[in-house]
Amino acid sequence: MHRLESRGVGAETVMERLESRVVGIETVMERLESRVVVGAETVMERLQSRVVEAETVMERLESRVVGAETVMERLESRVIGIETVMERLESRVVVGAEAVMERLQSRVVVGAETVMERLESRGVVGAEAVMERLESRVVVGAETVMERLESRGVGAETVMERLESRGVGAETVMERLESRVVGAETVMERLESRVVGAETVMERFEWIKTRRIE
């Protein structure tokens, strides 16, 4: 995310930049999510089919919000029963009528601060971190990547804090993750290129981690 941010200018958002890196009419999230959701259709594909021209995916999704529901509640209601991934995240981040992504996008800054640093500073409640609440619901097979990472933490430490502790100096979490892939490619770019067959993005992430350990 840090690398993507540094490429952003003016009103462009991180997601807009990510989208611009995908060929044809496909968006980044369509590519990523098409391997995550089980069934004949994916959450993001359905929502992104509503996106038009210069609007960003999340801006368009947000415009669809009605009543007390948020974009992600609608989105994730198709994935996991009564309780959804983003509902848990939203309960820690959203203020008033704003949607999660509106808040997150407004926190996307360029410079010394990274997206995740800003997210953490807004999302942590007590000993629970945003990512802990989010990833505890994102199930890929029997366990998720972040659940594995969480198991490496202790006490009040958050997943991302734990990851950061593995870096050095001014490196950010995402920069560190990028360095685990290859060259100057970013995490998201590499993940996209690795989405093949029945493999999911997160499964691929686990594979990269396993390979590193080996």
One-character DSSP codes across the chain: -HHHHHH--TT--HHHHHHHTS-TT--HHHHHHTTTS-SSS-HHHHHHTT--TTS-HHHHHHTT--TT--HHHHHHTTTSSSS-HHHHHHHHH--TT--HHHHHHHT---SS--HHHHHHHHH-BTTB-HHHHHHTS--STTS-HHHHHHTT--TT--HHHHHHTTS-TT--HHHHHHHTSSTT--HHHHHHHT--TT--HHHHHHHHHHHHH-
pLDDT on residue 146: 39
Query: Residue 13's domain spans which residues?
Result: 2-213
The structural domain count of the chain equals: 1
User: Which residues, 6 or more positions from 40, have their beta carbon under 8 angstroms from its beta carbon?
Assistant: none
Query: How far is it, in rounded angstroms, from Cα 117 to Cα 99?
Result: 19
Q: Tokens 């999230």, residue?
A: 29
Q: Cβ(15)–Cβ(22) under 8 Å? A: no
Per-residue pLDDT of the chain (214 residues; tens, 9 = 90+): 333 334 333 333 434 443 443 333 333 344 444 433 332 333 334 433 433 332 343 444 344 333 223 434 444 333 332 233 344 444 433 332 234 334 333 333 322 233 344 444 444 332 234 344 443 333 322 233 334 434 433 332 343 444 444 333 323 433 433 333 333 233 344 334 433 333 344 444 454 445 545 5
